[in-house]
Amino acid sequence: MKTTTMIAPALAGLISMSWAMDARADHVDCSASPWGCLRFGAWFAERGPAQGERVTVIGDSLVQLLSDALADQLATTGFHAFTYAAGGSSYWHWNVGLIVHGQDIGQIVSANASKHVVLALGANDAGVLASGRVTLNDVANQILWGMTRADDSSSGCVILVQPASHGSAAYNQAAARVRDVITLLVTARNNDLGSKHFVLADWNAYSQGHEDWFDGPQNIHHTETGKLNYRNFITIHLAVAHNGAFGC
């Protein structure tokens, strides 16, 4: 168990929970939750050689719209890959086990015996934040619990994808705040643990200047070219993790 009960000083005044606070204490009735119910079903794929290094990717519609292609690409890279996605999902939906047979992020990763984990979430957290239904502290608490559960259940890197600001002005501002929170949490958590466990994957920076990767000027979803680059972006980060260059 890699959790600790102390909050990092850098997070004072932002995060009201300890590292080990269970998100299941939150309300699991989506109709009564500010995070809302999902409009789409979940997607799951498993690909790769039996002896390949096991990795799990958990995502929202940006991963779901990749269909089998991400798992197939990871398999050709040598991974035994498990990919899960649900359109409209935030960290909260995964944390309270509303998507995969009541399992939260940690249980999903444990069931797959995965070494590395990609949490390709945050876009819908930004959307709900922009709506005013949740606070930045609410978002941070959910991200913190999800990343901690992934870390507790894996032995390698937990890679957190930062959402792109490619929507309305309100959404873009919220996405920037979510990226800041993810950066702060990753930095503080690595410092708290004394070694690198968490990795930032900044899709916003990576996709800058590539308007052709998106469906429109205010649409975070990807064109076919964007999907290819998003797949490559996730695959590259897992390949670097496999090679040990991230240090986790």
164, with CB counted inside 10 A (0-12, 13-18, 19+), is buried
Q: How far, in Å, CA of 204 to CA of 163, rounded?
A: 6
Residue 150: predicted pLDDT? 97
Q: Where are the alpha helices (DSSP H) in 81-122?
A: 91-95, 105-112
Span 161-207, pLDDT tens digits:
999 999 899 999 999 999 999 999 999 999 999 999 999 999 999 99
The rounded Cα 51 to chain-centroid distance in angstroms is: 25
How far apart CA 225 and CA 210 sit, in angstroms, is: 10
Q: What are phi and psi of 219, to 5 degrees?
A: -140, 120
| Look-up of token digits 């978002």 | 139
Model-level pTM?
Answer: 0.91
Give the confidence band of 6 by pLDDT, cuts at 50, 70, 90. very low
Q: Is the pLDDT of residue 12 over 80?
A: no
**pLDDT tens-digit profile of 26-74?**
557 898 899 999 988 899 999 999 999 999 999 999 999 999 999 999 9
Residues 98-157: tens digit of each pLDDT = 999 999 999 999 999 999 999 999 999 999 999 999 999 999 999 999 999 999 999 999
Domain ranges of the chain: 9-243
Distance in angstroms (rounded) separating the CA atoms of residues 7 and 105: 21
**3-state SS, residue 120:** strand
How far apart are alpha carbons 143 and 119 in whole angstroms? 10
CA distance 100 to 83: 12
The two tokens of residue 24 are 């299941």
Closest C-alpha to 120, from 36, 63, 79: 63
**CA 154 → CA 79, 151, 210, distances in Å?**
15, 5, 34
CATH no. of 9-243: 3.40.50.1110
Tokens representing residue 205 in the block: 């920076």
Closest CA relative to residue 125, chosen from 41, 220, 209: 220
